[in-house]
């Protein structure tokens, strides 16, 4: 059959219509990888991976071993899925928070971790999946996604004979969205803030009016608050507690590094907080625990639980304030691109997830639709902006109507 020479090796189509890969060794000989691939593109990926392994050996000054000998060594190193999973996760570049989450999910591979990687089939995966706790759908889906990604690496690894990923359960990586708490009202936010200890009362106000993540809010310093010429907040760090120590890192995504405007009505509260509660110096923490260190989320939640109950909102999680902030910003006419920037998101879908149902917006739009119906009945020009929205620009009015539609459909 036809053979094509590629950079660093060759790919040959066999009579079985599968593809054989050979890599050119330092002695000029061509060494087969020992497995075949269903498509030419898959074969090219395997060849590229083997070329990178050869180049790393050159760079490290270590002897290069032919693929089949390397495969035998790899099988010895990674006999089981558990060992291979640990190897893969350790080799990935991950944020500390992600690594912690993956470590928790890794523990849920019980029933698979002691099996040889090559022995894992779709039937094995199905049997393991059937034994999952059906009361934890979101955790199950996250575990399945991680397992599938690990086995994707195993499919590409010539150390194993997997031809396709055995994770083939339809819908296993998807779950029904968790019910979203309705957006908080201004009165509820005020009650919650007043019910917290004085040095934390600014936290829910910034959380709802600026919509940062908790990890970003807890990492704020004095230098991150700009009072003049305009009131702004710069978000460039995030903090998380991991394995008994504080980890300071960049925000969750590249888009998370941002400078956002703070509503001017918060100026007196912020100035009072800076004068009374924030740690001194440019790098002084804006919010601290009773011990003067970063706030542990669990410690804050002990007070948060009492505060939200005082507001009559025991269903309101702290993270829901971010959704309330996104909803308020959308109702104020903020476009989707600007909303993405304010929330620190790189995709529109990520921002839309945070929109919450707002009873006030629903009533406003219902009245606007009624006004439009009355205008049509009176012979007004179709498409004219409703009287209720006349104070907004066309873009703002369109955004408000689209927002209400999204909230009602969600």
d(CA 195, CA 5): 72
Q: Provide CB contacts within 8 A for 98, sequence distance 6+.
A: none
CB 114 within 8 A of CB 82: yes
d(CA 236, CA 258): 7
Provide the annotated active-site residues: 213, 319, 322, 345, 354
Q: Rg of the chain over CA atoms, in angstroms?
A: 28
d(CA 224, CA 236): 8
With tokens 């495969």, the residue in question is 71
Residue among 215, 210, 239, 226 at smallest CA distance from 341: 210
d(CA 150, CA 84): 8
Give 278-320 as a 3 state SS string.
CCCCCCCECCCCCCCCCCCHHHHHHHHHHHHHHCCCCCCCCCH
Q: Provide CB contacts within 8 A for 155, sequence distance 6+.
A: 162, 163, 164, 165
CB 82 within 8 A of CB 54: no
62-79 exposure pattern, b = at least 16 Cβ within 10 A, e = fewer:
eebbbbeebbeebeeebe
Identify the H or E element spanning 5. strand 3-6
d(CA 62, CA 280): 53
Would strands 9-13 and 3-6 be described as parallel, antiparallel, or unpaired?
antiparallel
Which tokens is 189 given?
A: 């936010």
- Other CB atoms closer than 10 Å to residue 37's CB: what's the count? 22
CB 22 within 8 A of CB 37: no
């Amino acid at each position: 059959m036809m053979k094509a020479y590629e950079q660093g090796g060759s790919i040959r189509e066999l009579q079985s219509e599968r593809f054989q890969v050979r890599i050119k060794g330092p002695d000029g000989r061509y060494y087969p990888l020992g497995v075949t691939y269903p498509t030419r593109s898959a074969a090219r990926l395997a060849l590229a991976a083997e070329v990178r392994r050869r180049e790393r050996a050159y760079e490290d000054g270590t002897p290069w071993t032919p693929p089949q000998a390397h495969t035998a060594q790899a099988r010895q190193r990674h006999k089981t899925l558990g060992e291979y999973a640990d190897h893969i996760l350790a080799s990935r570049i991950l944020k500390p928070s992600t690594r912690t989450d993956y470590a928790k999910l890794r523990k849920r591979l019980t029933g698979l971790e002691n099996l040889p990687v090559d022995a894992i089939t779709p039937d094995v995966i199905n049997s393991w999946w059937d034994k999952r706790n059906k009361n934890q759908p979101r955790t199950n889906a996250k575990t399945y996604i991680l397992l599938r990604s690990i086995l994707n690496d195993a499919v590409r690894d010539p150390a194993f004979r997997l031809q396709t990923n055995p994770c083939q359960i339809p819908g296993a990586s998807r779950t029904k969205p968790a019910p979203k708490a309705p957006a908080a009202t201004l009165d509820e936010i005020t009650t919650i803030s007043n019910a917290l200890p004085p040095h934390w009362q600014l936290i829910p106000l910034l959380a709802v009016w600026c919509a940062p993540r908790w990890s970003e809010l807890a990492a704020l310093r004095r230098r991150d608050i700009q009072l003049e010429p305009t009131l702004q907040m710069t978000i460039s760090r995030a903090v998380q507690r991991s394995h008994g120590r504080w980890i300071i890192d960049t925000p969750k995504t590249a888009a998370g590094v941002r400078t956002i405007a703070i509503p001017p009505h918060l100026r007196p509260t912020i100035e009072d907080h800076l004068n009374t509660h924030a740690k001194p110096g440019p790098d002084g923490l804006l919010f601290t625990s009773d011990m003067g260190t970063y706030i542990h989320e669990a410690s804050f939640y002990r007070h948060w639980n009492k505060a939200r109950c005082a507001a009559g909102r025991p269903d309101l999680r702290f993270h829901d304030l971010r959704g309330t902030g996104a909803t308020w910003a959308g109702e104020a006419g903020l476009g989707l691109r600007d909303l993405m920037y304010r929330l620190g998101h790189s995709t529109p879908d990520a921002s839309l997830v945070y929109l919450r149902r707002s009873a006030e917006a629903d009533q406003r739009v219902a009245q606007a639709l009624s006004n439009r119906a009355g205008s049509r009945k009176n012979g007004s020009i179709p498409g004219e902006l409703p009287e209720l929205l006349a104070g907004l620009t066309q873009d703002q009015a369109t955004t408000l109507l689209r927002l209400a539609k999204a909230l009602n459909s969600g």
